[in-house]
Amino acid sequence: MNFQLPVLPYAKDALEPVIGMGTIEYHHGKHHLAYVNNLNNLIKGTAFEQMSLEEIILKSEGAIFNNAAQVWNHTFYFYSFKQGGGGVPKGGLAKAIENQWGSFEHFVKEFNAAALSLFGSGWAWLAKESNGNLVILKESNAGTPLTKGMTPILTFDVWEHAYYLDYQNRRGDYLSSLWGIIDWDAVSARY
């Protein structure tokens, strides 16, 4: 299978000022694309070449895992936003968040704290365990809840390339701003 860079569901400038067009061009158009190209080169002529992205993530390690997981993580991240997004989740996800954290506001505070405290590069995740409980995870580098048998619901990329052009070293400002572009219809559907 030859993987392709996913087409964004919005224009490159649609998420401004939260995520600028320059960041989208750099983050999606260069970083995400590099992971896709690296993965395609690494799996050529191997058993992984016939697998889905999820299968590769679950069955690989090292460079193949890192690139496959980063392709998946980035696609998941970019597909969590929309122009004019924000607000609050709906339906079952809204109820589950309220049950787990007491309020949406408290969940946001806990999620931001986890993302802010992640040392180095990685991802903050909202995921659903097999028993239905929601958890906030901090995963370094290419980590993903998929390898833990969990269902990913939402992620924030905290690699510096995700925010440095727009926020420099102000990770907290970046995290706070992302809530204003969340596509809660797409995110809630993952629950």
pLDDT at residue 188 in the model: 95
**What is the pTM for the complete model shown?**
0.95
Res. 11 pLDDT band, cuts 50 70 90: very high
Query: From 1.10.287.990, 1.10.3430.10, 3.40.50.11540, 3.30.2010.30, which CATH number describes the 21-78 domain?
Result: 1.10.287.990
Mean pLDDT calculated for residue range 136-158: 97
pLDDT at residue 1 in the model: 72
Which residues, including other chains, have CB under 8 Å from residue 34's CB and lie 6 or more apart? none
Q: Distance between the two ends of the chain, CA-based, in angstroms?
A: 28
The answer to whether 155 and 175 are in contact (CB under 8 A) is no
pLDDT digits (tens, 9 = 90+) for 31-76: 999 999 999 999 999 999 999 999 999 999 999 999 999 999 999 9
6: helix, strand or coil: coil
In degrees, to the nearest 5, what angle opens at C-alpha 90 toward C-alphas 89 and 94? 70
Q: Which of 106, 111, 81, 129 is nearest to 176 (CA)?
A: 111
d(CA 134, CA 118): 19
- Domain coordinates of the chain in residue numbers? 21-78, 91-190
* CATH of the domain spanning 91-190: 3.55.40.20
Query: What's the chain's average pLDDT?
Result: 96
Peptide bond into 17 cis (omega under 30): yes
pLDDT digits (tens, 9 = 90+) for 165-181: 999 999 999 999 999 99
d(CA 191, CA 89): 10
pLDDT at 136 over 80: yes
